[in-house]
Amino acid sequence: MKKSVREMNSFQRLSHGLTFRSFLMVMLLMLFIGLLVLASGFLMFFTSALDEYRSNTCTYAAAEATALNQDEMKKKTKQIIDIYDSLPKEVQDDDEAPGYKKNFVPAMDTSFRDLQSTLRLMQNGMGLKNAFIVALDEKTNRMIYLIDADPRPASFCFPGTWDEYSPEEIRVLAHGGNTSWIEKRLGLNDDYQATITNLSRFGLRCTGGHTLYTTDKYTVVLCLDEKLNHLMEVSMEFMKRFLILLIFAIAIGSLIAIRSMRKQVTRPLGRLATAARNYTKDKMEGVATPDRFSKLEIRTGDEIEELGLAMKDMEHSLIEYEEHLQKITAERERIQAELDLATRIQKDMLPSIFPPFPERDDFDIYASMDPAKEVGGDFYDFFLIDDDHLGFMIADVSGKGIPAALFMMVSKTILDNLMMTGLSPAKVLQYANDSICANNKEEMFVTVWLAVLEVSTGKVVAANAGHEKPVKIHADGQVELINDKHGFVVGGMEGIPYREYEIQLDPGDKLFVYTDGVAEATASDKELFGVDRTLEAIRRDPGTNAKGILKNVRAAVDEFVGEAEQFDDLTMLCLDYNKRSGSGE
């Protein structure tokens, strides 16, 4: 892992510092530019030198061709060519075979040696590497040596021996032009019968030629070899001196750049960094209004100065922000305290002591409400209207948060008061709807399912105002979703009549109701929990008590939702009819 600046020692900080990096960048940039200039200069120098070598060798060859005895030269060269042509093809193709050279010994007479001496005089007089006459065969791409002035046995080209060249090189020596791609890229003059070659036994050289005569099959050329060793030595000396000058220029340029960089960049940035550290220290020590950046005077005339001014503005803005934040924090704490109080008030509005009727063993009831926010819009309630009638309800207000909680408290109060009068569930919903619609400018509404249980008979009279369908859990474990008759939501429109229906509970039966927060609980992949999963959760243990039913459903919802955020209030209520706590049936 890469270390932070505070974890580095002095050497590491220096090597990672902006000054060092700037120095390195300047050096690399100057080195790149220098090498580019060096390459360009070397290329121009080398091109010019090669062109001059090609021109000189061709000029010398043309001039020296006149020094040859033309009659003797043609006679002798044709003699050697005739001997070569008289050989079978398989013999021609292997010039290193034993006995091959013996075929040409008769041609190496006095006239041959005279011509050889003339060529050697040319070679020595001009300081050339070699002078020789060859026959160029453009069909086989062979340079057939006829007369060679080189007296050294190791490099002497025996008459009739040959070297194979590329078609381009043969063409250039015979007619003029460029041979290799580098010669073409360098833009060398293509009028010369000259090429740059580098054979292992001859080394690097420039071979220039002049055509002596031509036959149907061959072009006889006088060739002169110019050594290029001197050119390479001069080139290397040029590069060496240039590199020395380049290193010196880089050193001077880098020092100048570093001096300017330290003055314009690193020192001002260092002052800003020190001010930032001191600012943090002042804040840690509790200094109310640190003014470290305000004291800085940076006059670089560039982005560093703009950064210093920005840091000053930031310092003033932070002071103002902190003062504003303190006010907001205090206000938030006050609001949070009020929300906590509202949560407790709402919780206290709902029955929360279970079992609620410990003296009764003919029924039991359990409920829970988990709001999505601090306060919610769901509510439930249950109470004994008289000794034989239990009223209970569950409701879901549109919206969430504080508005829903206020509307919930109003709705609950109205519904509770109406049910305590002994009205039927349908009438309770009708009167509650008219009462809420009379003062409902925000057009909020509430879905309600309410019922009255006649304890002695198990008959439940219920009414549904747009709420979820109830679930009946039979004593034998069968789970039934009741398709009841829905009415319009409470608070939606005045004058709506509601219908009621009956549910018969037998001993051991249970009635489970819930808000849409259960069925619409959403997993991270946006899939809903749904009614089917709700029924499946109940079927896991239908014989458990009312509290167990709610616990199983909530566990199934939590498992399905996982880490996803709770979207809606989640409220459930379960009535367990004819529960005999110890007395039996």
DSSP 143-154: EEEEEE----TT
For the chain, the structural domain boundaries read: 15-235, 293-349, 352-577
530-539 and 546-561 helices, crossing angle to 10°: 130
Q: Count CB neighbours of 531 within 10 A.
A: 16
Place of tokens 């804040």: 283
* CATH no. for 352-577: 3.60.40.10
Alpha-carbon separation of residue 276 from 38, 286, 291, 308 (angstroms): 47, 15, 10, 11
pLDDT in tens, 498-522: 999 999 999 999 999 999 999 999 9
Q: What is the pLDDT of residue 583?
A: 34
pLDDT of the residue at 585: 35
CA distance 585 to 581: 10
Question: Which residues lie across from 395 on neighbouring strands?
Answer: 379, 448
Q: Please name which of 408, 420, 493 lies closest in space to residue 448, comparing C-alpha atoms.
A: 408
Query: What beta strand segments (E) does 350-509 contain?
Result: 363-370, 378-386, 389-397, 446-454, 459-465, 471-473, 479-481, 486-487, 500-504
Write the single-letter amino acid at 105. V
From residue 193, give the alpha-carbon distance in Å to each of 169, 218, 231, 533: 9, 16, 20, 96
**pLDDT tens digits, the chain, 585 residues: what are they?**
555 655 666 666 666 566 666 667 777 777 778 778 777 776 777 677 777 777 888 888 888 888 888 999 999 999 999 999 999 999 999 988 999 999 999 999 999 999 999 888 887 877 777 889 999 999 999 999 999 988 788 778 899 999 888 888 888 888 887 655 555 555 555 667 777 766 655 667 788 889 999 999 999 999 888 777 666 677 777 778 877 887 888 778 777 877 777 777 777 777 777 777 777 777 777 776 666 777 777 777 777 777 777 777 777 777 777 777 778 878 888 777 777 776 677 778 899 999 999 999 999 999 999 888 777 789 999 999 999 999 999 999 988 888 888 899 999 999 999 999 999 999 999 999 999 999 898 899 999 999 999 999 999 999 999 999 999 999 999 999 999 989 999 999 999 999 999 999 999 999 999 999 999 999 988 999 999 999 999 999 999 999 999 999 999 999 999 988 887 889 999 999 985 443 333
Question: Which helix (H) or strand (E) is 259 found in, with range?
Answer: helix 229-261
- Helices and strands in the chain: count of H runs, count of E runs: 15, 17
Structure confidence at residue 377 (pLDDT) = 82
- Overall residue count recorded for the chain in this entry: 585
At 466 the three-state DSSP class reads: coil
**464 strand-pairing partners:** 449, 486
> What is residue 555's predicted lDDT score, i.e. its pLDDT?
95
DSSP class of 293? T
Cis peptide bond prior to 355, omega within 30° of 0: yes
d(CA 418, CA 503) in angstroms, rounded, equals 21
- For residue 506, give both structure tokens: 């037998």
| Nearest residue to 375 via CA among 398, 413, 346 | 346
The long-range contacts involving 397-402, CB below 8 angstroms and separated by at least 24 positions, are: 397/444, 397/445, 397/446, 398/444, 398/445, 398/446, 398/489, 399/444, 400/372, 400/373, 400/376, 400/568, 400/569, 401/373, 401/374, 401/375, 401/377, 402/339, 402/342, 402/375
Between the two ends of the chain, the Cα-to-Cα distance in Å is: 74
Rg of the chain on CA atoms, in Å: 54
Q: Give the pTM.
A: 0.50
pLDDT tens digits for 81-94?
Answer: 999 999 999 999 99
Q: Does residue 69 sit in helix, strand or coil?
A: coil
Per-residue DSSP letter, 480: E
What does the H/E/C string look like for 16-49?
A: HCHHHHHHHHHHHHHHHHHHHHHHHHHHHHHHHH
Look up residue 29 and give its two tokens: 């940039």
Cβ-based burial of 563 (10 A; exposed 0-12, middle 13-18, buried ≥19) = exposed
